[in-house]
Structure 1
């Protein structure tokens, strides 16, 4: 076994010196460089057998490579201006292979102890950065032999002094117990930055009723302060058991930690779907509906929560909120205008508000679904938690939903003092924390989809929620849309609802797009398209805002919300520019809201359904809105352009659903 270890160490030293010679030279010559990066794909290509052993026996080979770093640096020819040998250099393992068994679907467990694993999770807690000692040298007072002892991550980074020397002197072994610590005054060669974070399974990646797993990740060197609570990270590291003695209870406490050797802060992706394949599918979809774009749009809308009857405009509003507008940043003063919108669904009980929230959470790759009952400021924002004698910052629902969506049911059940704590998170998309000596600012770049029950059906009569004392005006103005869903009692609505419910009971087939494809579509248009406002659409939105200001007290937040909705509708329609039609659809949705005044003559409600001809219905709405805004000539001009376009292009007519396959990406 000992000869096998020496052979593996010799092969490892040869590969690191030959294959990664340039990286080793950079480590020696660059003064600020403190890491030695090993590309595992290149390592496996150089020696497949040893690379496979490295992946299989991660702990053994990582320690072997760390012990060789000092020897490898001394083997590089140095220059007079070269800095001294960096004894605190850290090993980094990058470009891990997809195959090989290191990628695990969830948080590591005891079965992965000692293995090199790669896992993805959400940072829910971040500790205070500090400095730790990596190793200490001891000298034997008898044989003068130096012995280096490394810190033990399994004992909270402690360094246990050696009991005896154990060095070979000739044919004998020194058994002296007299060893002194070698200290270099003012030297930090054996120290590095240190931080602990807690990683939890991603929301939506674990079964309902299951408590999400979590693990402490140990970060050293340049990894410190790279991630914050709410970030999604991919960590490659060694699973190590860590224990300590509790002298009060006389028990041993054991936990698993992941010592990181690679850390990547990931952004929102397309849920594993190839981007080119998504683009090809979506372009074909919109090319097919080029003559009837609103028919294709309504197919997407009807695929949102298809088990709910009607509520077409409510579904459209939530869909646009999930897509969001285009965020901007002023290059001069750094002012950020958020692109994420917020929506509040208010109304009578039993109107499917909770079902809509649940489905909206499924359409986002990062989502948090919570309820107002029992939610506090700490649960919604962030909390300072004391663990092991140190204070840690633990993320709340809004921070965990960063770059995603936060769905809050029973919004009115949150206490008034707790609701005011999310003002900054909704508008500035940051959270300023000052707790237990920790002063930080966390990001909350998420859309909020909230739902609540109203004590009175004031929405249809135009009564503002804040007048009833149920929601304060400062918080109400931060929602782009506040839609009221009424439990209407009329013969036609009841007949349609009964027929719809019976159709589900009889398992009638519904023509919709699957949840996976709809999620991919939202993610694709949100991360790919950045539509630009054209002049006609800008004029329409400007006229609408002027009419709103004339009719009452309206803030600029309403105008920004309309712009976000118009940009989101352009993304939904797969357009590179925000057109008049996008502006009109945004205005129609805002007129449904309780925060705006109705200016058009069209008599519509959130319960109305588009006619059989969706494009003709949209054209009629555009005519009514533009006429009410004093722009009837613009509608006639757009009609002439559409007629000219129809004469130039001839598209083949085929079935609406021939293009849709049953399987998902």
Structure 2
């Protein structure tokens, strides 16, 4: 690699591919600051295969030599204040690891790429990476570089490097330090790659310079870096301890609520809006009988509405759903099925949980305090399923108020004051206070939760296990047949693709849809329900937008508005505008559809009936 021919090829590559970046560094007013230059490794290897041995065997030395060579190309070799950090990006596929558990001691010193979720963030500090020392006896000066393998300490020589001097006492040269921004974060296996049923593996990552402010707790990040071994101080009569860390050379935040599946693409094709919705409801949680309204509500919450921002104010696009049901009604199974549809779906049980486990906690690592992300922070841009929510302490329940409405969590712990994003959809489940519904009590007393928390849920479904001979017969037949009859229209991969495609659309409200929702909300207010506020109007708008996105439309029409009203009527907040609501039976849906039109006085509106054909 040190041959003249190899460096000549590298200079030619820089002049052809990075001439603009080099000109920007040259034209920079501050030649004393640190500059960054990204090197595309795949592009470099395609340009010349002579770099392959060095990238495989000793990428750290190659990165240092790249920096020195770039400095010489810029003709500032005599200016020691010019610093250029080389960032290696876009590594070939054989450098990519699928999980942190596949990284071992054999990977020490190698370049690799990994995706993980930031679980712990350290404070941003200044680190001296180089420093000059001088001999106390002869005055000989020498420069040392901080050793990452020794926790960034300087390894002093056994004796003075000067001629004929064996002194071993040295002192620092004031003002000779070279400083960089430094931060350590801890990542877990990303939820898209972690194996279910196993504990996630963790890895410390070292961030430097411009990287220190690019991520926070709860972010999904894709990192390319070099595995470094760090040795803990030796302690008598104890095992020598070794830690593997990743020195990041490039970092990219890749948060996404619904990632595009690589396979199982399905198009809407000849499906009508009703048929497409019915197919998705049939394919979602196919082993759970019925619950068409609940399944539709959860799908709409996963898709969500459109987040709107006006100045510093914003209207959240995420919807929240609560399943309040008696034991044995399948609440937990529905929550687990919902998590399978989302790349960042987290299921947790509130029994024994605390506000630190749900939000943020401050822990001490060495002499520093760090913020550790909880379930709601880790589910940012995703879904958090909270089972048995009523078992959470009342003081801890208040901590998620801000998360549900403002989509943030503000913390002031251990001298750290910050705000962390929690743009997540919450689907919660709980049982009544007495395990069975007492219809003589209001919702807050039955759920054993405060009314301000319940008002933040867009949909509240009641799951009551009432004896019904016909319904019990169909349920038992379904349970007996479901092990042999597994026919459903879409696979889970196809449902994931349709949910991802739904998020592409940004529907706007038609005049008819706006008037229909306005009339329905007016009826809700006239019902004199104390829990009906402007939040419920915002919920209707979000759900109508989500329904239009589910049907892959750019406009919220009358079908979306009336379907949203029928869904709302099937929840606790319904006011009884129609008798029987079904989203899978065309005949029953048409009857309920026409009842809503009549009750709202919309007979004179133009209502498109082509959706049923």
Match of 1:319 among 294, 299, 307: 299
Q: Does residue 292 of structure 2 align to residue 335 of structure 1?
A: no
Match of 2:521 among 545, 570, 576: 545
* 1:184–1:346 Cα change, 3 Å: same
Give the C-alpha shift of residue 27 in structure 1: 3.3
Q: Does residue 607 of structure 2 align to residue 638 of structure 1?
A: yes
Contact 2:136-2:171 within 8 A present in 1 as well: no
Aligned 1:407-426 pairs, distance under 5 A: 407-426=385-404
Separation in 2, partners of 1:581, 1:111: 60
Ranges in structure 1 where 5+ consecutive residues have no aligned partner:
168-172, 647-665
Separation in 1, partners of 2:276, 2:2: 67
Contact 2:180-2:209 within 8 A present in 1 as well: yes
Deviations 1:19-55 (A, max 9, x none): 22434454344225522322213321232132x2244
Corresponding residue number in structure 1 for 2:204 = 216
Give the C-alpha shift of residue 90 in structure 1: 2.1
Corresponding residue number in structure 1 for 2:533 = 555
Corresponding residue number in structure 1 for 2:326 = 348
Contact 2:385-2:426 within 8 A present in 1 as well: yes
Instruction: Please identify, of 475-484 and 18-27, the stretch whose mean Cα deviation from structure 2 is larger.
Output: 18-27
Contact 2:261-2:493 within 8 A present in 1 as well: no
Ranges in structure 2 where 5+ consecutive residues have no aligned partner:
none
* 1:345–1:270 Cα change, 3 Å: closer
SS of 2:213's equivalent in the other structure is: coil
Corresponding residue number in structure 1 for 2:98 = 105
Q: Does residue 84 of structure 2 align to residue 89 of structure 1?
A: yes
Give the C-alpha shift of residue 263 in structure 1: 0.2
Match of 2:271 among 265, 273, 289: 289
Give the C-alpha shift of residue 564 in structure 1: 0.9
Q: Does residue 475 of structure 2 align to residue 524 of structure 1?
A: no
Q: Does residue 369 of structure 2 align to residue 391 of structure 1?
A: yes
Contact 1:459-1:484 within 8 A present in 2 as well: no
SS of 1:369's equivalent in the other structure is: strand
SS of 2:563's equivalent in the other structure is: helix
Corresponding residue number in structure 2 for 1:229 = 217
* 1:68–1:446 Cα change, 3 Å: closer
SS of 1:325's equivalent in the other structure is: coil
RMSD across aligned positions (CA): 2.8
Q: How many residues align?
A: 602
Match of 2:111 among 116, 119, 132: 116
SS of 2:506's equivalent in the other structure is: coil
Corresponding residue number in structure 2 for 1:242 = 230
Match of 2:123 among 118, 121, 128: 128
SS of 1:349's equivalent in the other structure is: coil
Corresponding residue number in structure 2 for 1:650 = none
Deviations 1:376-424 (A, max 9, x none): 0000001001012211100000000000000011111111111111000
Match of 1:20 among 14, 18, 21: 14
* 1:465–1:368 Cα change, 3 Å: same
Q: Does residue 565 of structure 2 align to residue 587 of structure 1?
A: yes
Contact 2:431-2:447 within 8 A present in 1 as well: no
* 1:610–1:46 Cα change, 3 Å: closer
Aligned 1:162-241 pairs, distance under 5 A: 162-164=157-159, 177=167, 183=173, 185=175, 190-203=178-191, 205-241=193-229
Aligned 1:246-285 pairs, distance under 5 A: 247=235, 250-268=238-256, 271=259, 273-274=261-262, 278=265, 281-282=266-267
Separation in 2, partners of 1:377, 1:248: 40
Deviations 1:144-198 (A, max 9, x none): 986432211111111212334668xxxxx8776578667363x66x110000000
* 1:583–1:444 Cα change, 3 Å: same
Contact 1:245-1:251 within 8 A present in 2 as well: no
Separation in 2, partners of 1:487, 1:575: 37
Deviations 1:92-142 (A, max 9, x none): 112222x3x210001133332211110001001100000001112346799
* 1:114–1:33 Cα change, 3 Å: closer
